[in-house]
Structure 1
Amino acid sequence: MHRPPPRLRVPEWVGADDSVVTVALVYPMQGPAGIFGPTCEACARLAAEEVNKAGGVLGRELRLLEVDGGGEPRKVARDVEALVATGAVQGVTGWHISSVRQALAPRIAHRVPYVYTALYEGGEQTEGVFMTSETPAWQLLPAMRLLAEARGVRRWFVVGNDYVWPRRTARAARRYARACRGRVCGEAYLPLGAEDVRDVLRRIERTDADAVLMLLVGSDAVRFNRAFAASGLDQRCLRLSTLMDENMLLASGPEATGDLFSTAGFFASLANQDTLDFHGQYAARFGIEAPAPGSLGESCYEGVLLLAALVEQARTLDVCAIGAAADAVSYEGPRGLLRLTDRHVRQRIYLAEADGLDFTVLAQLRAPHELW
C-alpha cells in the first residue's frame, strides 16, 4: 500500500518571536547523501551558535529549522516554499544536490536570501542565490591538469549519478581533458541509489582508461569504491572525485581507497590555523565521537556564516538590498578570509590523496587563469 510522504513538522516557536531570525537548513537526511547529513547538521549548528555569541543577526537570535533535503526535489522545494510563503523562515541555506537547488531557487530566491553550499556544476545566476562552494573551472580543471603533469593521465572514464551536476560536469571534463592533451574515452551514469555497478566496471575494463572521474554522491561513491577495488581496477586506474570526504573514506574502508584523489576547498587534515581553530571548536562542542567534519559538512558552516554576513552587510533581510550589497561582503571561517565575486565565494582549492581513512593534502591548485 502506497503511503504519502510525511508532512513537514514545524515547531511551535517558528514565526512566533520577532526577536528571532529563522533559517531553513536544508540537508540530506536520507538517500545516498544521507551519509554526511549528520556532519552537515552539526557544522551548521556550530556556526549558528558562534553567530549568536557574537550578537546574532541584526541583533536577533539566529535559529535553524531543519528540512530534509534528501527527498524528491519537487517535494523539498514545496516544503521550503511553504515555510517562506508563511513567513516561518527568513533565509535558506544548506547542502543538497543540484536537482533540489534547481527546483527550489525559482520558488524562493526572490523572497529570501538563499545560500547554497554544495559544490556544483556552475552557471547559477538566479538573483538571491549565493554559492559558497567549488565549481568545475576552479576545482576540476586544475586537478586534471596537475594529474596529467604528475601522473601522465591522458584517458579518462567518467562515472556519475544521472542528474544535472554529473552530466554538466562531465561536459566540462571533456573540454578539460582535451586541453590537457587527453580525452574522455567513456561515460556511464547510474540512478541515485543504484546497487549494481558491475556493468560499469566491465565497461571501464574494456577501455584504455588510465583514470576514472567519479561524480557519484555519498553512499553511491562508497559502493563504487568497494567494487572498483575488488575488481582490481585500482591497480590500473587512479580515481579522482570532486565529492569525497572523510566520512565516505571511512565507509569505503582503507582497502578500497588506494590511488584515490579528491579536490576541494577544505580537508580535515589541513594544518593551517583556521582549520585547527575550527577543529578545536567542533570537538569542544560535539566531542571526539562526532562525525568527521569533512568538506561537505563544513560547507554548511560556511553557509550559515555567509548568510549572516550578507544580512549584516545590508542591514536588512530584504533580498534585493542583500544582493546589491553582496560584492562588499567578506567573512572569516575554516577556509580563511573569503569574499564574494558574482555571488560565488572564491577560495583556495586543494588536491589530496587518500591515505587509508584520511586525506594527505598534496598541493594547493592554481586558479584557472594561472593554468595556461
Structure 2
Amino acid sequence: MDYGVNLQARLIEPLDALYAPGDAAAFRLCLVVPQSGALGLIGPSALDAAVLAAHEINAAGGIAAGPGGLGTAARARRAEGPADARPAGSGRGARRGRVRADPCAEHRMDLVDGGRAPAAVAAQVAGLVGAGAVDAVAGFHSSDVHRAVEAVVSGRVPYVFTPPHEGGARLPGVACTGVGPGEQLTEAIGFLTERHQVRRWALVGNDYIWPRAVHRAARDAAAGCHARVVLEHRVPLGQVDRALGRLVEELRAHRVQAVLVSLIGRDLVAFNRGLRHSGLDRRLVRLSGALEENGLLACGGDDTGGLYSCMDSFASLADDRALALTERHRALLGPTAPVLDSYARGLYDGVHLVAALAAGRALRADAALPAAVRRLLAARGPGPREAWRAAPQGPPRAALHLARADGPDLRVVTSFRPGGP
C-alpha cells in the first residue's frame, strides 16, 4: 500500500503484530475496519481516514502524555520482551498495571478485517490483546461484530466504536462516539412525513442488532407524526439479491409510500438497484441511516429526488472543517482516493480521540472511559483543548444532517441538533 514518501503512519498486519519484533515505545492501536463482507466497499475510505489521522498525530510529534499517560500494560509487556524472558509475576496477572511512559510515542496501527464473522474478528482482536501487541482498539464495523469485540476487550484495553450504534449499555472500557437510532432518525422521519405527505411507512433492514433497534425507534417516530408502519422485513446479511422479488411485491401490495432502509453496504446497494429496476424508486420516499457517498456511487447515483440519508457528515458540506479535511486527504493520498464519507470521518475523529485521551491521561479500560470521552468531545477548558493538540481542527462538532441524493452526490437539505431520544 503506497501512500507516498511523506506519509508518517504505519499499518501493520495482525501476524506481523504478533510475531515480528516491535518498538516497545510505540503506541499501538488495533484498527478494526471492514475490508470484506457487506461493508467492505466502504472500508477503504475509512482506512484512508485512519491513516490520515495517524499521519497527523506523528507529524505533530507523536502521542504526547505526562507520566503514566501512555503506561498501558501492553507497552510494559513489549518492553519486557518475550514471555520466557520475563521475571516472575510479570505475566497475565499484571496486565492492568500502569507504568511510566515516554513523553511521546509513535502512533502505529494494527489492521484487523472487521468485515468477517463476529466470532472470527473477536478472536483475532483477542489474540492481539492477549499477546500485549496493542494498547487500544478503535474502529467502525457492524454492531454484531462490535458486541463480539466488546466482550473480549472489556477491562483489558480501551475500545472506541465510532459509527451510529443501536444504543444501550456498554461494558467497562468501551465508548461509543456515534449516535443512537432515535437520535439519528426521529426528526428525519418527521421531516419527510410532512414534506412528502406520506403516512404509510415500511421498514426494510438486515437481520442483526442495529437494524432491529432502528426499527423499534422508527415505529415510535412514525407514530409521533401520525404515520404508521404497514410493513417490516428483515433480511440476513448478504441475502438481499435473493429476497428482492418478494420485497418488491410486498411494497406494492401494502401500498407503501416511504421506506426506512436499514440495510448496510452491498445489501443497501442491491436494494436500491432492485427498486430502480422495478420502477418503485420513483414512487417511494427512501430514508437510510447508512447511505454514504461511496455506496451511492456503487448504486450508480440517483436522480429520483426521493432518496435521503441522515448522517453526521457528508462530503458536500461546505463548512471550513469539512473542506479542510478533504483538502488534507487529497494532498496526502491523491485525487483518486475514495471519498471520505461519514463513517470515515467518524473514524478519523476516533483515532484522534484515542490520542487525545492518552494525552489527557484518560485512556482507561474501565467504566470511567465514556465520561472521559464526553469531557474531551466537549473540549471545555485548557486541559481538554490541549489534549487535542495533534488534531489540526480539534474535536468534532456534534451535528446531524439530512441529505438527498443528487446524481452521484448527497446534498444537505436540512440539519438537526443532536440530542433526540
Structure-2-length-normalised TM-score: 0.80
Which of residues 248, 260, 264 is equivalent to 1:201? Answer: 248
**Is the alpha carbon distance of 1:336 and 1:175 closer, same or farther for their aligned partners in structure 2, counting shifts above 3 Å?**
farther
Partner of 2:139: 94
Deviations 1:163-217 (CA, angstroms, capped at 9, x unpaired): 1111111011111110111111111111111122111111111112110111011
Letter of the 1:352 counterpart: A
Which of residues 275, 278, 286 is equivalent to 2:325? Answer: 278
Q: Distance in 2 between matches of 1:256 and 1:193?
A: 26
Partner of 2:400: 349
Given the alignment of the two structures, is residue 25 of structure 1 paired with residue 17 of structure 2, yes or no? Answer: no
Q: Distance in 2 between matches of 1:33 and 1:347?
A: 24
Partner of 2:22: 16
Given the alignment of the two structures, is residue 328 of structure 1 paired with residue 379 of structure 2, yes or no? Answer: no
Letter of the 1:48 counterpart: A
**Is the alpha carbon distance of 1:318 and 1:98 closer, same or farther for their aligned partners in structure 2, counting shifts above 3 Å?**
closer
Greater CA drift, 107-116 or 317-326: 317-326
Partner of 1:163: 208
Aligned residue pairs, count? 357
> Secondary structure of the residue that 1:329 maps to in structure 2?
helix
Deviations 1:75-94 (CA, angstroms, capped at 9, x unpaired): 11011011111110000011
Greater CA drift, 32-41 or 296-305: 296-305
Identity %: 39
Of structures 1 and 2, the larger Rg is shown by 2
Q: Distance in 2 between matches of 1:23 and 1:157?
A: 40
Q: Distance in 1 between matches of 2:371 and 2:273?
A: 47
Which of residues 202, 219, 223 is equivalent to 2:266? Answer: 219
Shift of 1:145: 1.3
**Is the alpha carbon distance of 1:323 and 1:98 closer, same or farther for their aligned partners in structure 2, counting shifts above 3 Å?**
closer
Q: Distance in 2 between matches of 1:179 and 1:133?
A: 24
Partner of 1:341: none
**Is the alpha carbon distance of 1:178 and 1:323 closer, same or farther for their aligned partners in structure 2, counting shifts above 3 Å?**
closer
**Is the alpha carbon distance of 1:84 and 1:14 closer, same or farther for their aligned partners in structure 2, counting shifts above 3 Å?**
farther
**Is the alpha carbon distance of 1:322 and 1:140 closer, same or farther for their aligned partners in structure 2, counting shifts above 3 Å?**
closer
Map 1:290-369; keep pairs closer than 5 Å.
290-314=337-361, 319=366, 322=369, 325-330=372-377, 337-338=395-396, 347-368=398-419
Partner of 1:52: 58
Map 1:45-84; keep pairs closer than 5 Å.
45-57=51-63, 58=65, 59-84=104-129
Q: Distance in 1 between matches of 2:203 and 2:413?
A: 23
- Asked if 1 retains the 8 angstrom alpha-carbon contact of 2:14 and 2:128, the reply is no
Q: Distance in 2 between matches of 1:13 and 1:276?
A: 40
Given the alignment of the two structures, is residue 140 of structure 1 paired with residue 191 of structure 2, yes or no? Answer: no
Partner of 2:382: none
The answer for unaligned runs of 5 or more in structure 2 is 1-12, 66-103, 380-387
Greater CA drift, 255-264 or 187-196: 255-264
**Is the alpha carbon distance of 1:109 and 1:291 closer, same or farther for their aligned partners in structure 2, counting shifts above 3 Å?**
same
> Secondary structure of the residue that 1:79 maps to in structure 2?
helix
- Asked if 1 retains the 8 angstrom alpha-carbon contact of 2:230 and 2:254, the reply is yes
Greater CA drift, 252-261 or 130-139: 252-261
Letter of the 1:163 counterpart: Y
Q: Distance in 1 between matches of 2:204 and 2:398?
A: 27
Q: Distance in 1 between matches of 2:40 and 2:113?
A: 10
- Asked if 1 retains the 8 angstrom alpha-carbon contact of 2:315 and 2:341, the reply is yes
Shift of 1:367: 3.9
CA RMSD of aligned residues (A): 2.3
Shift of 1:137: 2.0
Structure-1-length-normalised TM-score: 0.90
Q: Distance in 2 between matches of 1:359 and 1:26?
A: 26
Given the alignment of the two structures, is residue 240 of structure 1 paired with residue 291 of structure 2, yes or no? Answer: no
- Asked if 2 retains the 8 angstrom alpha-carbon contact of 1:229 and 1:255, the reply is no
